């Protein structure tokens, strides 16, 4: 029976009319124009005199879910209906979505997981670029979801697919991704809307028309090619999609213009580790100065002399985490990065600001007692921490700040902090980090001497991955790192091979659980008494009157 009703509500049947509306589900992130895309679809359908209905469900902040827009189009003109109205629903049903549009690859994966993509019905239109979720960013190691798994699922679950990097196309066209998505929708021919219908809807909106039309044209062309390729050679199309989203490691910079002192130190280190070492040198130069880069290479000489492996895996991994650790995130570093001209240029490009158009950048900062104390000499830093602890102010002094780096006041304030770089060696944070780095490198070197296969040394070197971030994240990672170093690095109860396995298990447990409970459970399995859970303060806030 056709899904139609008269004005009185009674159902009617007509075999000459479509049996059901066409359904479109759009999943878009904030700022990508998902609402505009839905409006364009509605406008194009309305211009064709098709009955259309839409609803939207707001998403949540901090990249934990998209805003969804659901559109139903009954593909028959109102004149053909003769006063009857199609019965439409407000929400999508799994297995009954005709077109699934996702502005980012993981959102396409979520749609498939929720059953909105079916091989019998659904055309999947999705961008293959990634915007990482909060959970991916929070992970202590590499928390990124496997994009290839989403692509493989799309090949199996979607009736037809239009998959390419739409964000790149949008950037090239100087528009937002919604325009490219709309073009891909039109090019897929999944809806009874012509290219002219869709372009007219864009023109009727009256905002950013030319840029939107450029993005639309790019999306349309890509979709036509994708559909044609899929119909001609499905396996080749699948391979092309996978190749389009595959990423390769960025080429290391040549740095041929390094000072002679650095060139001499580099040449004495293993050739297999040179790419990573050069990146480490560049990072140290950017963080501090030539002397700091020389210190980096001098530290690596000790490890390299003990690395008998032709592949130099121990040297490469140590070089990677040593560079990251030596270039830790402090207030000076953050202020420097936020006030660089290259950052302002990048932000202008990301928001697609036109030449001469005013741009305002507001930074949210939350410096606490630790960040302030880290800038002081060790003696003053200790006194400040003790004073704050006695008065219970350690956590209460963490206050959020909003600074506009596009204003003279905000920019100069951060630049003043960045200009403290020559004084960084005098700070307490510098002393703490360098002492712990030396302890870590000494443990790696001693393990390399003790165990010829270098398995134990490599596992200790990889523990450098635990040191990352800033604030509480950095503090928890360092606590877990020290816990492993204190209990397993020099344990006489375990042979070197068994110790390497234990350190690996402990490191993986610490990366999976930053709070350290999984780590303590792993240590307990090796006969080490676990530490009790750390106490957390409870803050009671008086409810405001009225």
Q: At CA 537, angle to CA 535 and CA 538, rounded to 5?
A: 130
Q: Residues 6 or more apart from 299 whose CB is under 8 A from it?
A: 322, 437, 441
| Among 6-10, 367-371, 458-462, the range of highest mean pLDDT | 458-462
- pLDDT surpassing 80 at residue 119: yes
Q: What is the DSSP letter of 53?
A: E
> How far apart (Å, rounded) are the C-alpha atoms in residues 430 and 359?
36
Mean pLDDT computed over 527-539: 80
Q: What is the dihedral of CA 274, 279, 281, 285, to 10 degrees?
A: 160
- pLDDT surpassing 90 at residue 99: yes
Q: Which of 302, 270, 307, 300 is nearest to 457 (CA)?
A: 307
- pLDDT surpassing 80 at residue 107: yes
The pLDDT value given to residue 14: 54
Structure tokens at 307: 């690395």
**Beta-carbon neighbour count of residue 72 at 10 Å?**
23
Indicate the domain borders of the chain: 4-245, 248-327, 340-409+418-426, 432-531
Q: How confident is the model at residue 515 (pLDDT cuts 50, 70, 90)?
A: confident
Average pLDDT, the chain: 86
Q: What is the DSSP letter of 189?
A: T
Structure tokens at 440: 């870590």
The pLDDT value given to residue 170: 92
Would strands 4-5 and 85-86 be described as parallel, antiparallel, or unpaired?
Answer: antiparallel
Q: Which of 403, 232, 429 is nearest to 328 (CA)?
A: 429
Q: How confident is the model at residue 396 (pLDDT cuts 50, 70, 90)?
A: confident
DSSP H stretches of helix in 130-257: 134-138, 147-157, 166-173, 177-188, 195-205, 209-232, 234-245
> How far apart (Å, rounded) are the C-alpha atoms in residues 379 and 271?
43
> How far apart (Å, rounded) are the C-alpha atoms in residues 170 and 376?
47
The pLDDT value given to residue 537: 67
**Phi/psi at 497 (5° precision):** -65, -45
The pLDDT value given to residue 126: 95
Q: Say yes or no: domain 4-245 is CATH 3.40.920.10.
A: yes
> How far apart (Å, rounded) are the C-alpha atoms in residues 343 and 338?
7
Q: Which of 367, 386, 387, 339 is nearest to 471 (CA)?
A: 367
- pLDDT surpassing 60 at residue 8: no
CB 133 within 8 A of CB 64: yes
> How far apart (Å, rounded) are the C-alpha atoms in residues 174 and 185?
19
Q: Which of 80, 5, 84 is nearest to 49 (CA)?
A: 80
The pLDDT value given to residue 146: 87
> How far apart (Å, rounded) are the C-alpha atoms in residues 267 and 44?
65
357 HSE (CA, 13 A, CB side): 12
Would strands 22-28 and 11-12 be described as parallel, antiparallel, or unpaired?
Answer: unpaired
> How far apart (Å, rounded) are the C-alpha atoms in residues 197 and 220?
13
pLDDT, tens digit (0-9, with 9 covering 90-100), for 204-254: 988 889 999 999 999 999 999 988 877 654 443 344 334 433 333 333 344
Does residue 402 sit in helix, strand or coil?
A: strand
> How far apart (Å, rounded) are the C-alpha atoms in residues 109 and 66?
12
> How far apart (Å, rounded) are the C-alpha atoms in residues 286 and 295?
14
pLDDT, tens digit (0-9, with 9 covering 90-100), for 38-86: 999 999 999 999 999 999 887 664 455 678 999 999 999 988 888 888 8
> How far apart (Å, rounded) are the C-alpha atoms in residues 236 and 84?
46
**Longest CA pairwise span in the chain (Å):** 89
Q: Which of 158, 157, 108, 152 is nearest to 128 (CA)?
A: 108
> How far apart (Å, rounded) are the C-alpha atoms in residues 30 and 36?
12
> How far apart (Å, rounded) are the C-alpha atoms in residues 503 and 350?
42
Long-range Cβ pairs for the range 508-516 (8 Å, 24+): 510/140, 510/466, 510/477, 510/480, 510/481, 510/483, 510/484, 511/139, 511/140, 511/141, 511/465, 511/466, 512/140, 514/140, 514/473, 514/476, 514/477, 514/480, 515/476, 516/476, 516/479, 516/480, 516/483
Would strands 67-73 and 52-57 be described as parallel, antiparallel, or unpaired?
Answer: antiparallel
Q: Residues 6 or more apart from 518 whose CB is under 8 A from it?
A: 509, 510, 512
- pLDDT surpassing 90 at residue 475: no
**Beta-carbon neighbour count of residue 345 at 10 Å?**
11
The pLDDT value given to residue 45: 95
Look at the block and give the residue holding tokens 């878009």.
28
For the chain, the distance separating the N- and C-terminal CA atoms, rounded to the nearest angstrom, is: 57
**Of residues 493 and 43, which shows the higher confidence score?**
43
Does residue 463 sit in helix, strand or coil?
A: helix
pLDDT, tens digit (0-9, with 9 covering 90-100), for 128-141: 999 888 777 777 77
Does residue 144 sit in helix, strand or coil?
A: coil
Which of 12-29 are b and which e, b meaning 16 or more Cβ less than 10 Å from the residue's Cβ? eeeeebbeebbbbbbbbb
The pLDDT value given to residue 487: 93
Q: Which of 98, 105, 102, 101 is nearest to 119 (CA)?
A: 98
Work out the angle between the directed axes of helices 290-306 and 260-267 (0-180°, nearest 10): 10
pLDDT, tens digit (0-9, with 9 covering 90-100), for 249-307: 333 344 457 888 899 999 999 999 999 999 999 999 999 999 999 999 999 999 999 99
The pLDDT value given to residue 472: 78
- pLDDT surpassing 80 at residue 162: yes
Does residue 96 sit in helix, strand or coil?
A: coil
> How far apart (Å, rounded) are the C-alpha atoms in residues 152 and 109?
10
């Amino acid at each position: 029976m056709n899904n139609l009703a008269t004005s009185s509500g009674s159902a009617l049947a007509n075999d000459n009319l479509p049996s059901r509306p066409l359904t479109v589900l759009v999943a878009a992130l904030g700022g990508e124009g998902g609402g505009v895309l839905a409006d364009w679809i509605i406008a194009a359908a309305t211009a064709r005199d098709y009955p259309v209905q839409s609803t939207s469900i707001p998403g949540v902040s901090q990249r934990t879910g998209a805003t969804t827009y659901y559109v139903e189009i009954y593909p028959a003109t109102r004149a053909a209906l003769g006063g009857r109205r199609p019965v439409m629903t407000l929400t999508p049903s799994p297995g009954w979505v005709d077109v699934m549009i996702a502005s980012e690859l993981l959102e396409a994966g979520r749609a498939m997981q929720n059953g909105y993509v079916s091989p019998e019905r659904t055309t999947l239109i999705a961008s293959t670029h990634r915007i990482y979720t909060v959970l991916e960013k929070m992970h202590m190691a590499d928390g990124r979801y496997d994009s290839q798994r989403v692509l493989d699922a799309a090949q199996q679950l979607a009736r037809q697919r239009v998959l390419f990097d739409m964000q790149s196309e949008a950037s090239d066209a100087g528009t937002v991704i919604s325009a490219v998505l709309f073009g891909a929708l039109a090019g897929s021919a999944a809806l009874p809307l012509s290219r002219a219908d869709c372009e007219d809807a864009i023109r009727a909106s009256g905002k950013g028309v030319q840029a939107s039309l450029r993005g639309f044209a790019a999306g349309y062309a890509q979709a036509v090619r994708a559909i044609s390729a899929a119909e001609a050679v499905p396996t080749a199309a699948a391979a092309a999609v996978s190749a389009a989203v595959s990423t390769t490691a960025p080429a290391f910079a040549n740095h041929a213009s390094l000072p002679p002192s650095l060139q001499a130190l580099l040449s004495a280190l293993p050739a297999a580790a040179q790419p990573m070492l050069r990146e480490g040198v560049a990072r140290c130069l950017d963080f501090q100065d030539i002397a700091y880069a020389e210190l980096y290479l001098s530290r690596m000489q000790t490890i390299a002399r003990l690395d008998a492996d032709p592949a130099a895996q121990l040297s490469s991994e140590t070089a990677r985490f040593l560079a990251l650790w030596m270039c830790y995130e402090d207030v000076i570093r953050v202020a420097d990065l936020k006030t660089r001209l290259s950052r302002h240029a990048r932000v202008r490009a990301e928001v697609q600001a036109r030449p001469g158009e005013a741009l305002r950048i507001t930074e949210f900062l939350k410096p606490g007692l630790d960040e302030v104390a880290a800038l002081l000499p060790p003696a003053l830093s200790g006194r400040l921490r003790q004073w704050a602890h006695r008065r219970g102010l350690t956590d209460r002094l963490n206050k959020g700040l909003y600074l506009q780096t596009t204003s003279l006041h905000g920019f100069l304030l951060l630049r003043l902090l960045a200009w403290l770089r020559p004084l960084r060696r005098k700070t307490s944070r510098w002393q703490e980090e360098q002492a712990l780095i030396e302890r870590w490198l000494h443990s790696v070197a001693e393990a390399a001497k003790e165990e010829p296969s270098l398995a134990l040394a490599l596992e200790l070197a990889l523990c450098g991955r635990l040191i990352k971030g800033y604030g509480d994240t950095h503090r928890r990672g360092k606590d877990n790192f020290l816990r492993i170093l204190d209990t397993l690095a020099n344990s006489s109860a375990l042979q070197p091979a068994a110790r390497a396995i234990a350190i690996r298990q402990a490191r993986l447990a610490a990366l999976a659980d930053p709070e350290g409970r999984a780590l303590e459970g792993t240590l307990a399995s090796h006969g080490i008494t676990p530490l009790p859970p750390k106490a957390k303060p409870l803050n009671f806030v008086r409810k405001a009157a009225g």
